[in-house]
Amino acid sequence: MTDSKKMYINGEWIEAESGETLEITNPANGEVVGTISYGDARDANKAIAAAHEAFKSWSQAAARERSKYLYNLYELVRKNRDELAGLISAEMGKPLGEAKFEVLGAADNFMWYAEEAKRVYGETVPSSTPNKRLMVMKQPVGVVAAITPWNFPVNMVARKIAPALAVGCTVVLKPAEKAPLSTIRMFELIEEAGFPKGVANLVTGDASSIGKEIVDNPKVAKITFTGSTRVGKLLMEGAAAQVKRISMELGGHAPFIVFEDADLDAAVKGLFESKYRNAGQMCICTNRLYVHESIVEAFTAKLVERLQNTKVGDGRVKGVEIGPLVDEAALTSVLGQIEDAKEKGGGIAFGGNRLTEGEYNKGFFIEPTVITDVTPEMNIYSQETFGPVVPIIPFQDEASVLEMANDSIYGLAAYVYTQNNARCFRMAEGLEYGIVGVNDGSPTQTQAPFGGYKQSGIGREGGHYALDGFLETKFVSFGV
């Protein structure tokens, strides 16, 4: 049994008030990989109080000073890349190569916002009368509560706390209970980077109890959340009572559209990245694959060939491209979508089953799957899958595929493959999505905005766009 990991509150590592702990298991084999403190509202309350106290000096510190700590953290995260990646892979199953890439992405965020910290500019505005001077200043919003999911347990944390800390906010972070170990390790690095006590706090444990304290405690000015649309709506409702600021990155249902003039090899590569990376457990994952009717057969054959050459297994084993799903509930839900599609007339071009033999017998593994003969009645057509399963839907023309692609309550990411320039622009403009990959299956970068239309969320992370979410705009009018 490993030692139980504590929470980081006001610069100290402390046990949960409840005295309870929670074991974290590896979804590839069921082994216990760590134990965490199972905190609740009482611990969240302490963390919020610490962040509130620390805000007084952190918000007043010179931007270059805040930048220095973020830069230290950038270096530490890079230095500890392999250890952090190993923890990610062990606690939630993703292939080690993807986990290393994730950690470098997190480091890049700390670097980016170490730089942005120095560039939070205000403005002067010409007055309508000669006896006034108008000034606009940006100020940090206050204590930020950040709630993160398990699918990117290091980079999601970085994407939220780096811009918040950069502009002078203090933070209380609650990671997902399914994958908190890599986040805890990152908070050890936050301590090592020298941030003053109370500036960044970590509370692990009971999501609804901690969430309620975050919503109810008036010292929390802003809630930033990434996770399901269901929980996002709950938090929005709660936040409304005190008109708290919110940023939400919620579910998605990305269409991936392949036109008849597309480079099919590039499209298969892009589809693989956007559908099968992280075992299909990303909010920007392809969920509906629209292929022009004239190339459906050729495209499906190429896709199936790619999947035949894809190794599923423990993410820590070399050569594995698809790890296990995060837990049994995830597996049941994905298998349920496959069964539902089959019952409603869907065909299986590849995969379709849980893997249980030999190396797979203790994990939550599923074959990468391709479904054909898809109809709008099938759950997979409109519900988020969060697994390595793709439904292929043939289409006839640009206007009808655009209409089908936009017919969703979600609006996070969309993908288009075509070599026709004018069509690239028509589609990029017509798709009601916050992120559009045109001949690009992996369109996210640190400096680019990330966020969704419709029920996929509110606000944007990434680049300078993220800063606005942690700033208030103050107008000062000087009579002279």
Residues near ligand ADP (CB under 6 A) are 147-149, 174, 176-177, 207-208, 211, 227-228, 231, 234
What is the SS3 string spanning 388-451? Answer: CEEEEEEECCHHHHHHHHHCCCEECEEEEECCCHHHHHHHHHHCCCCEEEECCCCCCCCCCCEC
Name the closest residue to ligand ADP (Cβ): 211
Which CB sits closer to ligand ADP, 211 or 363? 211
- DSSP code, position 196: P
CA gap 177, 91 in Å, rounded? 10
Nearest CA-CA partner of 165 in 91, 201, 101, 113: 113
Amino acid at site 215: V
| C-alpha distances in Å from residue 132, one per residue of 121, 137, 138, 217, 480 | 21, 16, 20, 39, 6
Which CB sits closer to ligand ADP, 240 or 399? 240
- For the question of residue 424 being annotated catalytic, the response is no
Which CB sits closer to ligand ADP, 61 or 207? 207
CA gap 237, 160 in Å, rounded? 21
Least distance to ligand ADP, CB of residue 81, Å: 23
H or E element that contains 157? helix 155-167
Least distance to ligand ADP, CB of residue 266, Å: 30
Which CB sits closer to ligand ADP, 234 or 404? 234
Quick check: 417 and 257 in contact, CB under 8 A? yes
Least distance to ligand ADP, CB of residue 139, Å: 27
Going by their DSSP bridges, the two strands 21-25 and 32-37 should be labelled as antiparallel
Nearest CA-CA partner of 457 in 253, 284, 283, 249: 249
Which CB sits closer to ligand ADP, 248 or 467? 248
Q: Which two tokens stand for residue 247?
A: 């940023």
Q: Helices (H) and strands (E) in the chain — how many of each?
A: 15, 25
Least distance to ligand ADP, CB of residue 232, Å: 7
Q: Is 30 helix (H, G, I), strand (E, B) or coil?
A: coil
Least distance to ligand ADP, CB of residue 198, Å: 22
Which of the residues 91, 98, 102, 249 is marked catalytic?
A: 249
Least distance to ligand ADP, CB of residue 45, Å: 15
Residue 391 — φ and ψ, nearest 5°?
Answer: -95, 130
Which of the residues 102, 169, 213, 283 is marked catalytic?
A: 283
Which CB sits closer to ligand ADP, 165 or 210? 210
Least distance to ligand ADP, CB of residue 62, Å: 33
Which CB sits closer to ligand ADP, 207 or 424? 207
Residue 477 — φ and ψ, nearest 5°?
Answer: -110, 120
H or E element that contains 32? strand 32-37
Residues with catalytic annotation? 249, 283
